[in-house]
């Protein structure tokens, strides 16, 4: 099959993988190398959220680090080498009620004996006035993508986790000042990132504070804040606001077909098995995962080995 231009409506496979981030590509590399009848379906280009990461320095095997783009490009090329078929389509719905699993695509259906869901997660919105209106006009969820627009400008970063601090550090390459607004007086980010941020003179911390409104006509002009301890309101003049308050899983298309946790992440067991036999899930879309590239890769591999066991034990219908 040629990637991206086939009519999928008549296709039936042993295994379909949904999503081409680290979990999906790792599963795809193993399945294609094992010469399984497998197709990977991805709505965007392969790579996932890692493509938005400037520099990855905790993925084993790269002592000097590697750019997010290069790492994912290498995984994609490795998948290509084993002939993994990647179909560019968005999966809009699923039917896991029978032995044969069906996926609804914009131009038809695909069916398979087993499925691995590796659709990952996307940035959460902070949900304040002005956020929606000014997205793309100063409000961003990706420092690596939009940082260069803020040369010598002041920007705000909302959040205190690994993503917020990594991205704040990246933004100091361009911005004159990066105001990190965090709702507590301690960061959630790992110590190595904290130490780097505290040592960076361009980063200013606004502790115990939540954003209340993003103000601007055509573009962002100000970020309104409130101290959660004193109730005092203030505002900082910024040209950009970068929101990093965690992620939400991409599971809407599943519409209740597998069990989810209260945050809508997919529940899996240690074999990456979901509540439906033959349907597995791996990576950031799953509940209680560590949300690391290396973990996603490991879960993708576990999922495909479990799927292969399932396929060898179940009789084709």
Interface positions with ligand NAP (CB under 6 A): 58, 126, 158-164, 166, 183-184, 188, 210, 244-247, 291-292
> How many Cβ atoms are within 10 Å of 299's Cβ, its own excluded?
27
Closest CA to 50 of 265, 263, 217, 300: 300
Comparison of 58 and 92: residue with beta carbon closer to ligand NAP = 58
Residue least distant from ligand NAP (Cβ): 161
The nearer residue to ligand NAP, 58 or 314, going by C-beta atoms, is: 58
Tokens for 113, please give them.
Answer: 């004996």
Q: Is 146 a catalytic residue?
A: yes
**Smallest distance, ligand NAP to C-beta of residue 65, A:** 10
Nearer to ligand NAP, 160 or 278 (CB): 160
Nearer to ligand NAP, 262 or 313 (CB): 262
Helix (H, G, I), strand (E, B), or coil: what is residue 284? helix
Please tell me which residue in 54, 73, 80, 142 is annotated as part of the active site: 142
Residue 61 Cβ vs ligand NAP, minimum distance, rounded to whole Å: 15
Quote the Cα angle for 169-239-159, to 5°.
45
Smallest Cα–Cα separation from 65: which of 133, 200, 166, 210?
166
Report, in Å, the least distance between residue 10 CB and ligand NAP: 39
Residue 124 CB neighbours (<10 A)? 14
What's the CA gap between 158 and 243, in Å, rounded?
5
Of the pair 1, 290, the CB lying nearest ligand NAP is at 290
116 sits in which H/E element: strand 108-117
Q: What does residue 253 show for φ and ψ, rounded to 5 degrees?
A: -65, -15
Is residue 73 annotated as part of the catalytic site, yes or no?
A: no
Active-site residue among 145, 185, 259, 261?
145
3-state helix, strand, coil in the chain (%, to 5): 30, 30, 45
Provide the minimum distance between the beta carbon of 23 and ligand NAP in the complex, in angstroms, as a whole number: 13
Complex with ligand NAP: residue 17 or 181, whichever CB lies closer: 181
Torsion angle, CA of 306/308/311/312, rounded to 10 degrees?
-110
Least separation in angstroms between CB 64 and ligand NAP: 15
For the CB of residue 243, give the shortest distance to ligand NAP in the complex, in Å: 9
Q: What does DSSP say about strands 247-249 and 177-181: parallel, antiparallel, or unpaired? A: unpaired
Contact 193, 169 (CB under 8 A): yes
Report, as residue numbers or ranges, the catalytic residues.
142, 145-146
């Amino acid at each position: 099959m040629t990637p991206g231009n086939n009519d999928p409506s008549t296709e039936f496979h042993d295994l379909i993988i949904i999503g081409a981030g680290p979990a999906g590509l790792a599963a795809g590399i193993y399945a294609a190398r094992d010469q399984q009848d497998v197709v990977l379906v991805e709505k965007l280009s392969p790579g996932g959220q890692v493509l938005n990461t400037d520099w990855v320095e905790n993925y084993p095997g790269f002592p000097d680090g590697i750019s997010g783009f290069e790492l994912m490009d290498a995984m994609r090329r490795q998948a290509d080498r084993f002939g993994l078929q990647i179909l560019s389509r968005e999966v809009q719905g699923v039917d896991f009620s029978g032995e044969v699993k069906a996926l609804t695509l914009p131009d038809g259906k695909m069916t398979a004996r087993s499925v691995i869901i590796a659709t990952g997660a996307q940035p959460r919105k902070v949900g304040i006035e002005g956020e929606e209106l000014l997205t793309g006009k100063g409000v961003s969820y990706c420092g690596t993508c939009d940082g260069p627009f803020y040369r010598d400008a002041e920007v705000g970063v909302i959040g205190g986790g690994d993503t917020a601090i990594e991205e704040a550090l990246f933004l100091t390459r361009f911005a004159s000042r990066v105001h990190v607004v965090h709702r507590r007086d301690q960061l959630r980010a790992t110590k190595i990132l904290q130490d780097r941020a505290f040592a960076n003179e361009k980063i200013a911390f606004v502790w115990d504070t939540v954003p209340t409104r993003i103000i601007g006509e055509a573009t962002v002009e100000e970020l309104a804040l409130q101290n959660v301890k004193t109730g005092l309101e203030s505002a900082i003049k910024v040209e950009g606001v970068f929101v990093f308050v965690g992620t939400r899983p991409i599971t809407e298309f599943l519409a209740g077909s597998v069990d989810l946790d209260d945050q809508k992440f997919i529940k899996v067991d240690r074999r990456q098995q979901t509540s439906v036999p033959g349907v597995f899930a791996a990576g950031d879309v799953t509940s209680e995962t560590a949300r690391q590239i290396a973990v996603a890769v490991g879960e993708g591999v576990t999922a495909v080995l479990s799927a292969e066991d399932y396929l060898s034990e179940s009789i084709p219908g």
